[in-house]
Amino acid sequence: LQQISNLLYIQHDSIYASAVRAMAASHGKNTDHYEVIATTGNIADIMAQSDNHEIPEEIKQGFDKALAERKSVQINNAFFGYFVTKQGNEHLLYVCPGNNLSQLELHLLEIYSNNVAIALENRNLHQEIEATQRELIYRLGEAVEKRSKETGGHVQRVALISELLARKYGLDDIQATNIKLASPLHDIGKIAIPDRILNKPGALEPAEWETMKTHAHVGYEMLNSSNKPLLELAATIAREHHENWDGSGYPNGLCGESIQIAGRITALADVFDALGSRRCYKEPWSLQQIEQEIRKLSGSKFDPKLVDILLRDLDEFAAFRRLHPD
């Protein structure tokens, strides 16, 4: 918006907005309003001082006219552009250059606004696709959880605990968010485990335990064929969240930092939450019991640095169970 203002020597305020059409339930009248996307000049300060951060009335009236006529209009020296995308989304542009715009300048504004509308639509579509992927990952994780008759909030809590561990470990926002989004699929391979083993109330026989351990590799194989970064990360987590710091884990006996950080983080988050949850083979542990067990396993099962982070802020991590109970 600033670039087009500079190009046309527009020194005054400008607004780019999208229209949100609505219908008043009681009167059957349009109650359209506008979502401001960008501004230049002092208009943002003026809007901030209004009661509801509203667009000034004279500008809103111009938008209303353009929206009603479904075309760009000029009122005095102000230009109110109207643009509709292929998806039917309506966008509006207000500029007030202080003098009448030439046909060339109007044409440039039309081109600019149409391009911005297309770019915004592409961005929104991309965000919707990503949101759908995130939702599907959670749903898949929950489906596995329900099949193994585990507690309802485990997947969500593991995701939140993993994200917080990642941030406190020093990973950046993107890395921490991706671990949060991918970790719900850590046990996806359990869909290949027979119910008689998955839900057995007592200890597993050696042969049954060997079958149970295959879920890590199965989960990896299920997800690894994707070229999507989030699912590739989920594949790594599925494969490595049962590896132990001292090399005694499975499926590949990795140790130390040869286990990727996402796997080490999810391993700790998974056990921390599972110990406090009811399972077919155990009752939930107290927070004190969990703390003692995690401390005992530091340096053998878990990355000691991650354990230090969790125990240092134990109450903060434990709060996720209160916020998202079973």
Per-domain residue ranges for the chain?
2-124, 148-323
| pLDDT mean across residues, the chain | 86
Higher pLDDT residue, 11 or 176?
176
Q: What is the average per-residue pLDDT within 181-202?
A: 91
Q: What is the average per-residue pLDDT within 311-318?
A: 97
Q: Compute the distance between CA of residue 204 and CA of residue 200 in angstroms, rounded to an integer.
A: 7
Question: What residues pair up with 94 in beta bridges, in sequence order?
Answer: 15, 80
Higher pLDDT residue, 303 or 132?
303
Q: What is the average per-residue pLDDT within 146-171?
A: 86
The pLDDT tens digits of the residues spanning 194-204 come to: 999 988 888 89
Higher pLDDT residue, 45 or 318?
318
Tell me: pLDDT of 232 over 50. yes
Residue 197 structure tokens: 């083993």
Which listed CATH number (3.40.1840, 3.30.2290, 3.20.20, 3.30.450) goes with 2-124? 3.30.450
Catalytic-labelled residue, pool 190, 228, 282, 296: 190
Percent of the chain with pLDDT over 90: 47
Tell me: pLDDT of 160 over 90. yes
Q: What pLDDT is recorded for position 49?
A: 74
Q: What is the pTM of this model?
A: 0.68
Residue 13 structure tokens: 């305020």
Catalytic-residue membership of 301: no
Q: What pLDDT is recorded for position 214?
A: 97
The pLDDT tens digits of the residues spanning 38-88 come to: 787 777 777 777 766 678 888 899 999 999 999 988 888 788 988 888 778
Tell me: pLDDT of 10 over 80. no
Tell me: pLDDT of 25 over 60. no
Per-residue pLDDT band for 272 (boundaries 50, 70, 90) equals very high
Q: What is the average per-residue pLDDT within 248-265?
A: 98
Q: Which of 5-14, 25-34, 110-119 has the highest mean pLDDT?
A: 110-119
Q: What pLDDT is recorded for position 251?
A: 97
Tell me: pLDDT of 30 over 50. no
Q: What pLDDT is recorded for position 5?
A: 61
Q: What architecture is the 148-323 domain classified under in CATH?
A: Orthogonal Bundle (1.10)
Q: Compute the distance between CA of residue 109 and CA of residue 190 in angstroms, rounded to an integer.
A: 57
Higher pLDDT residue, 237 or 48?
237
Tell me: pLDDT of 2 over 80. no
Q: What pLDDT is recorded for position 150?
A: 59
Q: What pLDDT is recorded for position 29?
A: 41
Per-residue pLDDT band for 20 (boundaries 50, 70, 90) equals confident
Q: What is the average per-residue pLDDT within 182-200?
A: 92
**40-45 long-range contacts, Cβ below 8 Å, gap at least 24?**
40/1, 40/2, 40/5, 40/10, 40/13, 40/14, 41/11, 41/12, 41/13, 41/14, 42/13, 43/13, 43/14, 43/15
